[in-house]
């Protein structure tokens, strides 16, 4: 193959962009939702945004395991299309829906452990109270997100990303509106603060789930993809579990690392936790479009892999990586040039808490430099790992992430034990992100993934 085939094929860029743009817009809506949620909570009190960052990460720690399983239905769908097995798609999605309901019940039960968890963590009293409120409501309502992830696989796996975007954007816009009403108490509603933010997020996820159900069950889908076949199929459910659980474990372990990261930062102080929470929300602005690009690319990679066109799969990964790096450089430069302006969007004219926002800004501006630097390497991690998942290489990637995460987590505890502060913790995490791309490049070049079959029999 020539260099042109791997990096300079305009047609491949066009295909990725066509599929990715709706997903990028959807993720932009997600970023806007999180951004607005963060600004509302920061204006409510610095402790509120600190608590939402911590409890939101813990909730993702739980939810990511389940979403990794049910969301893998989209990858199986893409591989089935490449293998000309469209009639099995409806059955695949239904197995994902069944699992989403079971996982939702498990998450609900875990919600009762929110208070004991944060009682164990030595955070400030008011932060701990907010953390408990947010996490309990989030865990109670996670089933709405699991259903949305399961049904979203029907759209993304077929490349029907415009309708998927519209469904997800509708929920995101609803969330912003409900945030305004519930956090501060407008239109006759009581002021609910952090609880209102969590409840708004849960309720808003019902709308995209309903829209996606409509597209999945309409007549054309029933005829072409047999989406009316709702019965349990243990063989396909087993395939979904076999590939998806490794994907979910990797997502869970990754979330676990950042949960530990936030827990350790929270032990340093509320100022540091608030600055980190805001930096994480700005980090989402950086990575969410790249995740959208990676998802669009993964559909094409999965379809090529299902058709056993392995060189074609690699070419799409390379073109997706080039687009991701371009975006990371643009945002990284913006963070360097306009650091204070980005942080000032979270400033409040009325401080309801005990944290001085000037101190939060001072520390946070330095943290944003970390984000600008490691984002260039994170594009490799997101894109290459997404490509390996699309070809079914989830077990190996999960083992690698688990091993490296355990090492990094131990190092973080050691850094704190030796008296390291906020910048030492962030430096340790940054080194992890910077070194990880080497692992994915070596695995992709090895070719072991070429022998994996994801499509249903």
pLDDT over 70 at 27, yes or no: no
Residue 133, pLDDT score:
83
Cα distance between residue 172 and residue 373, in whole Å? 29
Has residue 206 been placed in a domain?
Answer: yes
pLDDT tens for each residue of 299-326:
899 889 888 888 888 999 999 999 999 9
- The pLDDT assigned to 285 comes to 76
Q: What percent of the chain has pLDDT over 70?
A: 90
Judged against a pLDDT cut of 60, whether residue 354 lies above it is answered with no
User: 33: how many CB neighbours lie within 10 A of its CB?
Assistant: 23
The token pair at 82 is: 């490449």
Does residue 385 have a pLDDT over 60?
A: yes
pLDDT over 80 at 371, yes or no: yes
Q: What is the pLDDT of residue 169?
A: 86
- What's residue 197's pLDDT? 83
Average pLDDT value for residue range 11-28 = 82
**Total domains in the fold of the chain:** 1
pLDDT at 1 exceeding the cut of 60: no
Range of the domain at 89: 3-451
Write the pLDDT tens digit of every residue in 152-200.
989 988 888 889 888 888 888 898 888 888 888 778 778 777 778 888 8
Is the pLDDT assigned to residue 111 strictly greater than 70? Answer: yes
Please tell me the distance from the alpha carbon of residue 136 to that of residue 159, in angstroms, as a whole number: 35
**Per-residue confidence (pLDDT) for residue 265, from 0 to 100:** 85
Does residue 456 lie in a domain region?
no
Rounded to an integer, the average pLDDT of 385-402 is 89
Average pLDDT, the chain: 84
- pLDDT tier at 29, thresholds 50, 70, 90: low
Spatial separation of the C-alpha atoms in residues 138 and 111, rounded to whole Å: 8
8 Å CB contact between 157 and 89: yes
User: Distance between CA atoms of 269 and 362, rounded to whole angstroms?
Assistant: 14
pLDDT at 348 over 70: no
457 belongs to a structural domain: no
Dump the DSSP string for 150-206. HHHHHHHHHT-HHHHHHHHHHHHHHHHHHHHHHHHT-TT----HHHHHHHHHHHHTH
Q: What does the pLDDT look like over 131-157, one tens digit per residue?
A: 788 888 889 988 998 999 899 989 988
Q: Which of left, alpha, beta for 419 (phi over 0: left; psi -120 to 50: alpha)? A: left
Chain mean position to CA 330: 21
Q: Cα torsion at 110, 112, 117, 123 (round to 10°)?
A: 130
Residue 155: partners with Cβ closer than 8 Å, 6 or more residues away: 74, 161, 163, 164, 167, 212, 215
Q: How far is CA 327 from CA 6, 287, 313, 317, 321, in A?
A: 19, 9, 22, 16, 10
**Residue 350, H or E segment:** none
Residue 296 domain flag: yes
- Compute φ and ψ for 241, nearest 5 degrees: -70, -40
Instruction: List, for residues 250-300, the tens digit of each pLDDT value.
Output: 888 877 787 788 778 877 877 888 888 888 878 877 888 898 889 889 889
> What is the arithmetic mean of pLDDT over 104-126?
78
Residue 350 has pLDDT above 60, yes or no: no
195 located within any domain: yes
Q: What pLDDT is recorded for position 46? A: 67
Burial of 108 per CB tally in 10 Å (0-12, 13-18, 19+): middle
46 or 197: which leads in pLDDT: 197
């Amino acid at each position: 193959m020539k260099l042109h085939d791997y990096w300079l094929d305009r047609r491949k860029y066009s295909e990725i962009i066509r599929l990715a743009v709706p997903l990028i817009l959807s993720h932009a809506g997600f970023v806007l939702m999180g951004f607005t949620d963060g600004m509302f909570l920061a204006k409510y009190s610095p402790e509120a945004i600190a608590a939402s960052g911590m409890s939101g990460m813990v909730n993702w720690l739980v939810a990511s395991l389940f979403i990794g399983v049910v969301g893998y239905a989209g990858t199986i769908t893409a591989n089935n299309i490449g293998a000309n097995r469209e009639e099995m798609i409806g059955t695949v999605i239904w197995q994902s829906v069944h699992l989403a309901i079971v996982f939702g019940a498990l998450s609900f039960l875990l919600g009762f452990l929110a208070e004991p968890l944060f009682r164990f963590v030595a955070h400030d009293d008011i932060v701990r109270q907010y953390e408990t409120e947010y996490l309990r409501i989030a865990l109670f309502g996670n089933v709405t997100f699991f259903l949305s992830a399961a049904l979203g696989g029907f759209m993304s796996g077929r490349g029907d990303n415009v309708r998927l975007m519209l469904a997800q954007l509708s929920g995101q816009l609803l969330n912003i509106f409900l945030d305004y009403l519930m956090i501060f108490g407008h239109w006759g509603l009581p002021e609910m603060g952090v609880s209102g933010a969590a409840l708004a997020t849960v309720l808003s996820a019902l709308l995209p789930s309903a829209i996606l159900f409509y597209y999945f069950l309409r007549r054309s889908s029933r005829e072409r993809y047999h989406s009316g076949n709702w019965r349990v199929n243990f063989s396909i459910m087993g395939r979904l579990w076999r590939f998806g659980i490794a994907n979910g474990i990797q997502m869970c372990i990754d979330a676990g690392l950042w949960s530990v990261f936030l827990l350790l930062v929270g032990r340093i102080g509320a100022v540091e936790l608030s600055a980190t929470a805001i930096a994480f929300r700005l980090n989402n602005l950086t990575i969410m479009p790249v995740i959208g690009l990676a998802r669009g690319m993964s559909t094409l990679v999965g379809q090529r892999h299902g058709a056993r066109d392995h060189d074609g799969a690699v070419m799409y990964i390379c073109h997706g990586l080039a687009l991701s790096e371009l975006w990371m450089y643009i945002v990284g430069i913006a963070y360097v040039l306009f650091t204070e302006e980005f942080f000032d969007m979270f400033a409040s004219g009325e401080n309801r808490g005990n944290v001085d926002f000037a101190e939060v800004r001072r520390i946070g501006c330095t943290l944003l430099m970390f984000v600008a630097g490691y984002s260039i390497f994170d594009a490799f991690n997101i894109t290459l790992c997404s490509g390996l998942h699309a070809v079914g290489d989830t077990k190996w990637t999960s083992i690698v992430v688990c091993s490296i995460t355990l090492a990094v987590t131990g190092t973080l505890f050691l850094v704190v034990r030796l008296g390291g502060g906020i910048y030492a913790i962030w430096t340790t995490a940054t080194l992890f992100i910077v070194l990880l791309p080497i692992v994915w490049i070596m695995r992709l070049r090895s070719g072991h993934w070429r022998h994996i079959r994801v499509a249903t029999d």
